Structure 1
Amino acid sequence: MNLSFDAKLAQNYKSRSQQIRVMSEAWGSDNLYCPCCGGEKLQRFENNRRVADFFCDECGEEYELKSKGGNIGRKIVDGAYASAIERINCSSNPNLLVLRYCGLIVSELVFVPKFFFVPSVIERRKALSKNARRGGWEGSNILYSKIPPDGRISIIKEGYETDKGFVLESYRRIKPLETKDIKKRGWLLDVLSCVNGVGEEFALKDIYKFSEALKAKHAENNNVEAKIRQQLQLLRDKGFIEFLGGGRYRRL
């Protein structure tokens, strides 16, 4: 991959955000491959498409590219809150590519599969004042730090390209987590986050400690501990944890 933006593309734009958009999208068109199937090149959608920026003409996966200067941080600014929630509940929600640049150099590129998005990772921003041009409009943030590490696959890290085979294998491993049922997705990812918050080996009682937090997120469920056991069994079946017996588990 060529990690440099083409500065000439920004010469006709005064806005820095417009300059970055033009340069980053052109960079993506020239350098991105499909991290889902390994297709050699992503295609660009026509300008002004509402959601996705790229698609793979081999597997049909779509991607939205978001670029940030400096560190990626805990949050990524997104569009309208209502639209973001609607997309998450829709089967056509695109995958996310998060690009970090320093000057005109791409230093990080992270792939977040679409099935790692649930309503709890979308934050509603304060509505614009009534006197604003779009008075009452509510934006959103993607709470990037709440996405489990399994769902943040580095394509470029600290200025170096990750081996493509490793990227594809990382996606293959987490692909079994995909489900279109948003409630099932939320429970599975929430319990996965709990598992990531304990040691490599852990007991069932260690995950039960998260019961109150899980109950707050899933108020409709009146038997949280049974739900935790169900999700641990699913994570075992999908190859993320190993059951050691006697209520003990190991992360794989």
Structure 2
Amino acid sequence: MQIPISLYDYYEEYKEKYKSKSQLVRVISESWFKDNMYCPFCSNEKIKRYDNNHPVADFFCNDCGEEFQLKSKKKRLGNIVVDGEYNKMIQAIYSCSVPNFFFMSYSPMFDYINDLIIVPKEFILPGIIKKRRPLSQRARRRGWTGCNISLKDIPYSGKIYLIKDKNVIPANHVRMNIQKISYYRKIKNVDKRGWLADILNILIKINKEVFTLKDVYAYIPYLKVLHPQNNNIEAKIRQQLQILRNNNVIEFLGKGVYRKL
């Protein structure tokens, strides 16, 4: 078993400087990240930090240009992570300016990082952004509407672990998993990526290695809720399965039967 990565030295360094717990956590996690994080998309072993109050991201890679935002959460990541203003997030997705997201969970005493995952920006889609209730009229920012990121609605292949259950995943494995989804990252249209992500999620729900087209068709009512304007769901399903087949995510065995690879 590996020795867990600790944040405690950073806690000791900053605990007297910040009275706000949320600000302290942000400084601790971002400082560790700046000192230790590599770029998962290229061979660069260090990423850089933007100046404070950068509008889009916290960090960037000087070699490949990828941008990153870090979200930290105590104990376990769970299904929901709190994010910023809802409309700005949706606008960023459709304008293709949303960064890649890192999600970190840490122990209450900062003695270990439990999990660290990266969700490439192409998997940050409108369907995973959940609007929160607007702030009341009594609030200082009355009417402001925040959002949550629903991690459970992101396909498994779009949640790539760098640390899992305190164990560090080798960087070459992380980059290999990023490479496996390169086909998905090449799809520029947000709605097309959304359809493919929905089918990937359905394949997870179909809990067997060999499945049939009929198994996927069983989720047509679910897809109609997600895509109420589409009147040709069956054809759309077949189209997405063809994309996954062409990119070696699934194998076609014939007569409407597939195998997950």
Aligned equivalent of 1:161: 168
Q: Does 1:239 align with 2:242?
A: no
CA–CA distance in structure 1, aligned partners of residues 105 and 5 of structure 2: 14
Which consecutive unaligned segments of at least 5 residues does structure 2 have?
none
1:4, distance to aligned residue in structure 2 (A)? 2.4
Q: Aligned equivalents of 2:5 and 2:224: distance in 1?
A: 47
Give percent identity, aligned residues only.
Answer: 44
Q: Do residues 122 (structure 1) and 100 (structure 2) align?
A: no
Q: Matched residue of 1:30: which SS? A: helix
1:197-236 alignment, distance < 5 Å: 197-198=205-206, 199-236=208-245
Contact 2:210/2:258 (<8 A) preserved: yes
Q: Please state whether the residue corresponding to 2:148 is helix, strand or coil.
A: strand
Q: 1:101 aligns with which of 89, 106, 111?
A: 106
How far did 1:220 drift?
Answer: 1.5
Matched with 2:203 is: 195
2:85–2:145 contact (8 Å) kept in structure 1: yes
Deviation, structure 1 residue 64: 0.2
CA contact (8 A) 1:3 1:107 kept: no
Q: In the TM superposition, what are the counterparts of 1:123-142 in structure 2 within 5 Å?
A: 123-142=130-149
Q: Distance in 1 between matches of 2:15 and 2:190?
A: 40
Compute the displacement of 1:10 (Å).
3.3
1:83 paired residue number = 88
Structure 2 length as normaliser, TM-score?
0.94
Q: Does 1:250 align with 2:255?
A: no
CA contact (8 A) 1:75 1:145 kept: yes
2-structure distance, mates of 1:175, 1:66: 24
Q: Which residue of 1 aligns with 2:45?
A: 40
Rounded to whole Å, the distance in 2 between the matches of 1:171 and 1:26 is 24
User: What is the identity, as a one-letter code, of the residue corresponding to 2:132?
Assistant: R
CA shift at 1:87, angstroms? Answer: 1.2
**Alpha-carbon distance between aligned partners in 2 of 1:172 and 1:134, rounded to the nearest angstrom:** 42
Q: CA RMSD in A?
A: 1.2
**Which 4+ stretches in 1 moved above 3 angstroms?**
none
Q: How many matched pairs?
A: 252
Counterpart of 1:13? Answer: 18
Comparing 124-133 with 87-96, which one deviates more in the overlay? 87-96
Specify the SS of the correspondent of 2:240.
helix
Question: Structure 1 length as normaliser, TM-score?
Answer: 0.97
Q: C-alpha deviations, 1:40-88, integer Å up to 9, x for none?
A: 0010000111221110011000000000001101100000000111111
Q: Tell me the residue number matched to 2:7.
A: 4
1:111-169 deviation per Cα after TM superposition (whole angstroms, max 9, x unaligned):
11111111110000011111111111110000011111111111011112101111000
